[in-house]
A and B are shown apart, each in its own frame.
Chain A
Amino acid sequence: DAKTTQPNSMESNEEEPVHLPCNHSTISGTDYIHWYRQLPSQGPEYVIHGLTSNVNNRMASLAIAEDRKSSTLILHRATLRDAAVYYCILRSRTQGGSEKLVFGKGTKLTVNP
Chain B
Amino acid sequence: GAVVSQHPSWVICKSGTSVKIECRSLDFQATTMFWYRQFPKQSLMLMATSNEGSKATYEQGVEKDKFLINHASLTLSTLTVTSAHPEDSSFYICSANRGIYNSPLHFGNGTRLTVT
Binding site for B on A (CB under 8 A): 32, 34, 36, 38, 41-46, 49, 87, 91, 93, 96, 98-106
Contacts and interface: CB of A to CB of B under 8 A. Distances in A.
Task: Classify the secondary structure of B's interface with A.
Answer: strand
Contacts, number: 57
Nearest to B42: A105
Given A43-B6, A98-B57, A104-B43, 19 more contacts: A34-B104, A36-B105, A38-B44, A41-B91, A42-B109, A42-B110, A43-B4, A43-B93, A43-B95, A43-B107, A43-B108, A44-B95, A87-B43, A98-B49, A98-B51, A100-B34, A100-B46, A101-B46, A101-B95
B56 to A, nearest CB: 11
Nearest to B110: A43
Interface of B: 4, 6, 32, 34, 36, 43-46, 49, 51, 57, 91, 93, 95, 97, 101-102, 104-110, 112
A41 B110 contact: yes
Contacts of A38: 44
Given A43-B6, A91-B102, A101 B93 contact: no
